[in-house]
Structure 1
Amino acid sequence: MGQSWRFVVAWLTAAVAAVTVSWLGVRIGIAPAITDEAPVAIDVNRRYTEVRFGLADVTPAPAPSRPAPSRTSARPTRTPSTPATRRPAPSRPATATPSPSPSPSPPDRRPRYRVNAEGGDVIVAYSPTRVDVIDTDPVPGYVASATRRSNTLVVVRLAGPSHASVVTVYWNAGPGAQIVEEFGG
């Protein structure tokens, strides 16, 4: 009977240790997701900036070019025809021809925002269902590349000598961006 108590005490000790370690691991891993504060990472070679946009930050979209309406009337003129002088047109086999011009696409009316980074600027069009990088303006000596992670998340990297700006643009209950400045040695 004395030996069975040792097994029970050893099992309880192991169970308490496992629960304690699991609780600490879950608490450390889930705490940033539960709170509103972002996790803090200390790295001397990086600087993090979070940006949320509002209506005052909107970059005006370019106005679509439309032809000016003409003031002349486009009424068709009717010419009287007499039934005796009209001849039926000769019948020709019907041929299918493709339409010469596709219908014009509607203008993009999504709000656009400019994200400033040390490696250059990124202009982004936001909507709740799609985020698109419209233009990048890298600083001379920098190269811009964009990677789409999902419909509402795009990562733009502005890479230069010994420095890179990584701009992550996203939609999360509104337009936002995260800018990471990476300094190399």
Structure 2
Amino acid sequence: MALLRPLDKLPTLDVATILLVGAEEKLLERLGEAILREGEGTAKVQVHVAPGLPLPADRECFRPRVDLVVFVLSLHSKHSLRTVEASLPQLDAGFFLGKVCFLANGGGELLRLGGPAPSPHSEDLCWPRARPVRPEPAVHDEEVPGAGPAGRLTAAREPRQPASQPARGEAPLPGLF
């Protein structure tokens, strides 16, 4: 049972491999099926499901390179959180540079059932509270000084002056080089 590393294998051409990790098997299967449905015809996606990390070492030679790890947390279950916490040390730090995401599930259902909210910010996970994206810009042209049509600045910028180099024998100023 080895540490899962992001670049330990060659990538499969034109295929993205996603590993879903979580304690709730039904939820992972539904999420995997939805990902495959969305990617049909446009992208080749492989979805693998694991109840936790580390992955078994006996099938290591057959396993493709993992491009994305998704940790799925259920807000209903402490077991789900413990599974993710136990799995994190089994993942190489290189995955955390854009190859890991966390998906929290169940915030809206908790509020509908009248159960206790896991945190004061769990209400933000509910869809009815989500703010719609507006087509109008956040700042209008009239509010930006010097803006012309389509928000372009019409005032000419002054050319940037190059930094002066110290003369020979002079020490450069501290903090500049």
Same fold? TM cut 0.5 = no
Larger helix share, 1 or 2: 2
Query: Which protein has the bigger strand share?
Result: 1
Q: Which structure has the larger Rg?
A: 1
TM-score, normalization: structure 1?
0.19
